Each structure stands twice: as structure tokens, then as C-alpha cells.
């Protein structure tokens, strides 16, 4: 069990104002669908600009999988307002299409009919598309249409200063990087709690698993589910893979992390060696870092052409990216303020608590706990394990909430309010009342109204469309959004015109960077 030392809490209470400087951003994925709830086969809307260079609207795996990116902000309200505006601008340019409101996807059709994202003719654009073709070959295109919320989080200089002072250390980039890796280790041990609280994907259209073996129950015609499940997205049908199950990426130090990921990228996998070079970037166990599916990542903004591991080597960890949050279909934005407030509290707890280094036994325990909560999280008296000790989910969660309480109180003092404490009370109730979790409420709605997963999601999609269409953006907001889109198209053309090496040389130079790590 992680714990926060009293002198660290005392220092936090003396410097609560530093919590106001937390920087955050949201990346939200949503599939475009037609009026029948089928995956849109249309190109990325030109009015939304270039998916390669637009700072706020891009695509992920599929041409139909939109990704919205908010600017970095210290204000939760500003972040949510900006995400709202991106949605409204998008809906103003979707015609009759809508956005699918959940993590597990819509009616997809045959795997090979799912359109892979296109980014233009430049080398970087071709690399992005080829990487996605490789993902489709390795894991199937259906899996890549699963959507999620990514939460980007970093802390201000003032917080680093008092944390270093409290530990008798000096603020350096190495100190910051080491503390972020401590946060990551704690997060990975405790991320099952977020899956339990935020999991909103206990069911799926049966067509998604057509031709695949599974152990899901049938809820209704066309709907499969786990009776006590929380998030199919985070389980065997989502971002897990047999090939990656053998990976032991180490988070004990930046050097451990770089070298274990580098090895996975440079080590050929026999199954992937049989895939044509025209349909993947490489035959490595991982094509690039992003292929490693993890609930949290250390990040630094890359320079042009730079590999992510190279950026981390150059400057250390700049922020972390939380990747285990399902799209909440009950919220038009896919995430609610009380989720962000809980994430802030949870991440600060992970940052300032003791974080012992991990070994293979702990890694296996982390994976087992995650699978248990994904598949059976709301099962009465479900047992998890913390460093070999068995305890029920409710017992462990209650202990964590007790340790989160003084941190929530510090946030409330910083903001002169009670929102963080109220938020903690809200989520604590779901520990003793699993029927209040998003996953349980979705299944209750399906049963009570005799709805299929498809029918429920279509209702939400139509409601969200109506929400974002009225009111529309004002003229000033529309002009700004249109200008950003037009500028992104110009930027794409400039990149295409500036390419001065052929694609094979571009790729070779890209992968040569791993040799110098």
C-alpha cells in the first residue's frame, strides 16, 4: 500500500496554492457514424482542416476516428469549455453524421473495410499511415476503433520546489523525472481503482466479436456483456495483446524505461516478420513506442522528426498521459468535471506518496489486479493482491480514499471551495454501492428499458448531436475555428513541399535514432 509521509502532507498544507498551477489537457476520441449507426466511410471533413497539422482536431487509427485535443490549461472550466467548442465546430461540419458516444465501437462492417487514416503525401504522413496499417495487420482493425479519453497532467515549478525542499533535495530535471516515474509506479499499482470508478464499457455489440471466441454473456439480441465487468476496452478485447503480454517495460528509472522499450522496438517478432514491409513500419515486437499499450505514459513534446524516447532522453519527463479512462456516454463531452477532480487528487497522491521500485512479481500482480477489475470489478468480495497480501477491493479502495482525503482538502483550500471534497464523497459511495458505478448504471438502463447496446448508444449519439448543434458557435468563434483549419491545410502543404529525401531514407534515419539511445 502506498503511503504519504506526514512531513510531505505538512508541506503540502503549507503550499496549497501550488495546486492551482496544475496543467492539464484532454484528448478525446470519437468515431464518426452515419444515421444508421454504421462507421462513416467518408474522408476526414475538409472543413476540419488537416489531420496532420491541426492542433486540436486530428484522427487516430481510422479516417473515421476523430481525436479532439484541448490546449494546456490550469483551469478545468477552460479545458471543458474548449472541448465543448471543438465539438460544436465539428458538428457544424459533419452534415448528417454523428459521433459515437462510447468506447466500444459502432457497427463496423468487415475488418478490411475500416478505412485507415490518411495524412497526405509527405514522409511523416506516409509513416503515420503505414504505422496504422501495421496495427491493423497485427491486431485487427476492429480493435483499433476502440475509443478512449487521455488525460495529460503536469505540476508547476512551485510544487516541485516545496516537494524537493521537504525531501532535502534540489530541483533538477533528474529530480522531476524521478518523481514522475514514482507517480507512474504508484499509478500502475492502483489504476484498477480508476477502472472500477470510471469504467463505462461493460457491454458491446455482438458483431464486434463476430468470429472470435469469448466468454461474455448475452444480455439481449445483439448485445454481449460481463455481468460484473467494468471496461471491456481495458481487457482482452481492447488494448491488450498476446504478443505484448511478454513485455516487461520497466518504470523504475528513465534509463530502465528507455532501454526496455528500445529492446522491444529493435527485437524482431517472428509473426510480424511474415507481414509485408509495405504494410508495417518494421517487424519489431513494437513498430514504435506508441504501439505499447499502457494505462499511463511518461511524455515530452517531441521536436520535428524526433522519436519519443529521444525526447525523454534529451529533456526528461515533461508530463504524464493517463490512458485508462473510458468515454462516458452519459456526458456529451465524454468526461465530467468530477472525474477530472478525482484524477487531480489521485495523481497528486501518486506523486507525493512513497513509491518503491517494482520487480517482475509486482508487475504480474499489477496485471492480475487489472484483469480482475476489468472482468469482475463489481463482484461482491472480489479479492485483489497488494505485494502478496490479499484484500477485498472494497477494503483496499476505502484505505486509498482515506489517504486521498487530506489531498482533496488541500485542493479545496487552494480553490476556496468544497468541490474536491464533494467529488471524493461522490466516488467513495460507489465503493460500497457498486450499483452506482457507470458500468452498473449502463447495464441497469439496458435491462430496465430492454435496450440493446446499439440502441442505447444511438439514443445518446442523437441526444449529444442535438446538444452540440444548439447553440452554435458565435461568429467570432466560427471565424477562429475556420482560420485554424485553413492554416493547418497550408502547414500540411508546406511540409509536403519541403520533403527532400525519399521515404525509405526517411524511415532509415528515423530508426537510426534508437541506436544512439
Contact 280, 259 (CB under 8 A): no
> What are the pLDDT digits (tens) for 213-268?
889 999 988 999 999 999 999 988 765 566 676 788 999 999 999 999 999 999 99
> How many residues are given for the chain?
517
Mean pLDDT along residues 480-506: 97
pLDDT of residue 460: 98
Report CA torsion sign: 424, 429, 432, 435.
negative
pLDDT value for 125: 98
Model pLDDT for residues 108-158, shown as the tens digit of each residue: 999 999 999 999 999 999 999 999 999 999 999 999 999 999 999 999 999
Predicted confidence band of residue 2 (pLDDT cuts 50, 70, 90): low
> Do the beta carbons of residue 138 and residue 272 sit within 8 Å?
yes
**How high is the pLDDT of residue 258?**
98
471 cis-preceded (ω within 30 degrees of 0): yes
**What is the average per-residue pLDDT within 300-312?**
97
Q: What angle do CA 180, 298, 187 make, to 5 degrees?
A: 60
The DSSP secondary-structure symbol of 22 reads: -
Total domains in the chain come to 1
pLDDT at site 78:
98
Give the per-residue pLDDT at 341. Answer: 98
Residue 143 included in any domain? yes
Question: Is residue 167 included in any domain, yes or no?
Answer: yes
- We report the CATH number of the domain holding residue 466 as 3.30.590.20
* 8 Å CB contact between 307 and 288: yes
Phi, psi of 207 (to 5 degrees): -65, -25
pLDDT of residue 243: 67
Instruction: Give the three cell numbers for residue 474.
Output: 458565435
Report if residue 304 sits inside a domain: yes
Least confident interval from 54-63, 234-243, 450-459, 503-512: 234-243
Give 515: exposed, middle or buried? Use CB within 10 Å, 0-12, 13-18, 19+. Answer: exposed
Spatial separation of the C-alpha atoms in residues 441 and 435, rounded to whole Å = 6
Report the half-sphere exposure of 232 (CA within 13 A, side-chain side): 25
- Does the pLDDT value for residue 61 go beyond 80? yes
pLDDT tens track for 25-46: 999 999 999 999 999 999 999 9
Is the confidence at residue 212, as pLDDT, over 90? no
Q: Mind spelling out the 3-state secondary structure of 331-384?
A: CCCCCCHHHHHHHHHHHHHHHHCCCCCCCHHHHHHHHHHHHHHHHHCCCCCCEE
Average pLDDT, rounded, for the chain: 96
1 lies in some domain: no
Q: Is residue 234 part of a domain?
A: yes
Instruction: Give the structural domain span for 210.
Output: 6-453+462-516
Distance CA 193, CA 398 (A): 10
195: confidence class by pLDDT, cuts 50, 70, 90: very high
Amino acid at each position: 500500500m502506498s503511503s504519504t509521509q506526514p512531513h510531505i502532507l505538512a508541506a503540502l498544507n503549507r503550499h496549497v496554492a501550488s495546486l492551482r498551477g496544475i496543467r492539464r489537457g484532454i484528448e478525446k476520441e470519437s468515431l464518426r457514424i452515419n444515421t444508421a449507426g454504421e462507421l462513416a466511410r467518408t474522408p476526414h471533413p475538409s472543413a476540419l482542416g488537416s489531420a496532420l497539422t491541426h492542433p486540436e482536431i486530428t484522427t487516430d487509427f481510422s479516417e473515421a476516428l476523430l481525436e479532439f485535443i484541448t490546449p494546456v490549461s490550469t483551469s478545468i472550466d477552460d479545458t471543458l469549455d474548449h472541448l465543448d467548442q471543438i465539438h460544436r465546430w465539428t458538428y457544424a461540419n459533419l452534415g448528417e453524421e454523428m459521433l459515437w458516444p462510447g468506447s466500444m465501437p459502432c457497427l463496423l462492417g468487415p475488418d478490411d473495410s475500416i478505412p485507415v487514416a490518411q495524412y497526405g503525401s509527405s514522409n511523416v504522413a506516409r509513416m503515420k499511415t503505414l504505422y496504422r496499417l501495421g496495427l491493423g495487420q497485427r491486431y485487427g482493425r476492429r480493435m483499433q476503433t476502440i475509443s478512449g479519453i487521455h488525460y495529460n497532467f503536469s505540476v508547476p515549478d512551485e510544487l516541485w520546489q516545496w516537494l524537493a525542499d521537504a525531501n532535502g533535495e534540489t530541483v533538477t530535471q533528474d529530480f522531476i523525472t524521478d518523481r514522475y516515474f514514482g507517480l507512474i509506479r504508484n499509478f500502475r499499482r492502483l489504476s484498477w481503482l480508476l477502472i472500477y470508478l470510471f469504467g463505462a464499457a461493460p457491454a458491446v455489440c455482438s458483431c464486434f466479436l463476430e468470429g472470435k471466441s469469448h466468454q461474455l454473456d448475452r444480455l439481449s439480441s445483439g448485445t454481449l456483456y460481463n455481468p460484473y465487468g467494468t471496461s471491456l476496452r481495458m481487457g482482452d478485447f481492447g488494448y491488450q495483446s498476446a504478443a505484448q503480454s511478454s513485455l516487461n517495460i520497466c518504470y523504475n528509472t528513465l534509463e530502465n524505461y528507455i532501454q526496455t522499450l528500445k529492446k522491444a522496438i529493435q527485437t524482431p517478432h517472428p509473426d510480424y516478420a511474415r507481414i509485408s514491409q509495405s504494410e508495417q513500419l518494421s517487424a519489431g515486437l513494437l513498430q514504435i513506442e506508441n504501439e505499447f499499450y499502457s494505462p499511463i505514459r511518461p511524455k515530452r513534446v517531441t521536436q520535428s522528426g524526433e522519436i519519443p524516447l529521444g525526447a525523454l532522453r534529451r529533456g526528461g519527463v515533461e508530463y504524464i498521459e493517463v490512458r485508462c479512462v473510458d468515454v462516458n456516454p452519459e456526458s456529451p463531452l465524454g468526461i465530467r468535471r468530477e472525474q477530472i477532480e478525482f484524477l487531480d487528487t489521485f495523481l497528486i497522491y501518486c506523486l507525493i506518496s512513497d513509491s518503491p521500485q517494482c520487480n517482475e512479481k509486482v508487475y504480474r500482480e499489477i496485471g492480475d489486479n487489472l484483469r480482475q477489475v476489468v472482468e469482475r470489478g463489481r463482484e461482491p468480495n472480489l479479492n485483489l493482491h497488494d505485494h502478496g497480501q490479499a484484500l477485498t477491493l472494497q477494503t483496499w479502495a476505502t484505505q486509498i480514499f482515506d489517504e486521498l482525503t487530506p489531498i482533496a482538502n488541500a485542493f479545496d483550500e487552494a480553490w476556496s471551495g468544497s468541490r474536491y471534497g464533494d467529488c471524493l464523497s461522490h466516488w467513495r459511495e460507489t465503493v460500497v454501492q457498486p450499483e452506482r458505478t457507470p458500468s452498473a448504471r449502463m447495464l441497469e438502463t439496458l435491462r430496465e428499458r430492454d435496450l440493446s447496446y446499439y440502441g442505447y448508444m444511438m439514443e445518446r449519439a442523437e441526444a449529444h448531436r442535438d446538444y452540440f448543434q444548439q447553440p452554435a458557435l458565435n461568429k467570432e468563434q466560427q471565424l477562429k475555428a475556420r482560420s485554424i483549419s485553413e492554416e493547418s491545410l497550408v502547414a500540411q502543404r508546406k511540409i509536403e513541399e519541403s520533403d527532400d529525401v525519399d521515404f525509405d531514407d526517411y524511415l532509415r534515419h528515423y530508426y537510426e535514432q534508437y541506436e544512439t539511445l
